[in-house]
């Protein structure tokens, strides 16, 4: 693991070394930069747009099913219902995520815990860029068969290794990763949030 990967995360903006992490399992107050980081993840627009799409689907297609004979068949009804249901699921998921972010900001804490990094995932559909990177961490005290998933930037994804113990701090409800320590490597979200992803190959 190269030094240049870990140096930016181990030095605070004012040049002082970052403070050592608290003992795993501790709750620690969010600092001002972490609050700003979580606030930047908030969006009232995304849930509103998704729920509007659900409402539009209902308004457009339900009358068509009722009044247009061509829509009065099992496959058409099933397809339309599935599409509207999928959009409703996305809208509900986004609304829940935003609600969890609000709760975490209101509580004003992050949790430090330890666990084992059991897996990583890079999801690239070939159309959008950059890909989505995730870590799967089996936290101590949780079911090891159900690791917790955290989205991370590319440089964190490339720096860590599976089957190693890590220490992390995260927003407890929204599951936003704020800190990760893997041996000598330390990821601090607020210091790396504006790093640009390398261009596609």
- Residue whose entry in the numeric block shows the structure tokens 């998921």: 93
Query: What is the count of structural domains for the chain?
Result: 2
Give the residue-averaged pLDDT of 40-50: 77
The predicted pLDDT at position 35 comes to 92
Residues 23 and 122 in one domain: yes
Look at the alpha carbons of 81, 82, 87, 91 in this order and tell me if their dihedral is positive or negative.
positive
Cα separation, 176 vs 131, in Å, equals: 18
Residues 93 and 124 in one domain: no
Cβ atoms within 10 Å of 127's Cβ, excluding its own: 5
Closest alpha carbon to 5 in 123, 134, 182 = 182
Cα separation, 148 vs 143, in Å, equals: 10
Residues 113 and 26 in one domain: yes
Residues 127 and 68 in one domain: no
pTM of the model: 0.69
- Structural domain includes residue 129: yes
Residues 74 and 170 in one domain: no
Residues 181 and 117 in one domain: yes
Residues 183 and 115 in one domain: yes
Give 87's Cβ-side CA count (13 Å radius): 17
* Dihedral pair phi/psi, residue 79, rounded to 5°: -65, -45
Question: Could you tell me the CA-to-CA distances from 194 to 19, 136, 149, 156 in Å, in that order?
Answer: 21, 23, 22, 13
Give 11's Cβ-side CA count (13 Å radius): 9
pLDDT tens digits along 15-39: 333 333 444 458 889 999 999 999 9
> Which domain does 76 fall in, by range?
45-105
Residues 65 and 16 in one domain: no
Which CATH number characterizes residue 118's domain?
Answer: 2.40.50
- Structural domain includes residue 35: no
Angle at CA of residue 26, ends 4 and 6, nearest 5°: 0
Residues 100 and 144 in one domain: no
pLDDT tens digits along 65-100: 777 777 677 777 788 788 888 888 888 877 887 888
């Amino acid at each position: 693991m190269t030094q240049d990967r870990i140096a930016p995360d181990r030095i605070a903006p004012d040049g002082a070394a970052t403070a050592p992490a608290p003992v795993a399992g501790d709750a620690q107050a969010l600092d001002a930069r972490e609050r700003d980081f979580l606030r930047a993840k908030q969006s009232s627009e995304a849930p509103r747009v998704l729920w509007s799409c659900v409402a539009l689907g209902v308004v457009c297609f339900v009358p068509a099913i009722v009044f247009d004979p061509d829509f009065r068949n099992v496959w058409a009804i099933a397809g339309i219902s599935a599409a509207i249901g999928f959009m409703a699921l996305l809208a509900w998921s986004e609304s829940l995520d935003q609600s969890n972010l609000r709760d975490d900001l209101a509580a004003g804490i992050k949790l430090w815990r330890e666990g084992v990094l059991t897996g990583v995932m890079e999801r690239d559909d070939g159309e959008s860029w950059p890909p989505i990177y995730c870590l799967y961490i089996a936290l101590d005290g949780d079911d090891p068969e159900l690791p917790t998933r955290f989205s991370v930037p590319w440089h964190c994804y490339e720096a860590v290794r599976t089957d190693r113990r890590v220490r992390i701090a995260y927003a407890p409800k929204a599951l936003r990763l704020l800190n990760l320590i893997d041996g000598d490597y330390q990821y601090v979200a607020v210091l790396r949030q504006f790093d640009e992803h390398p261009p596609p190959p």
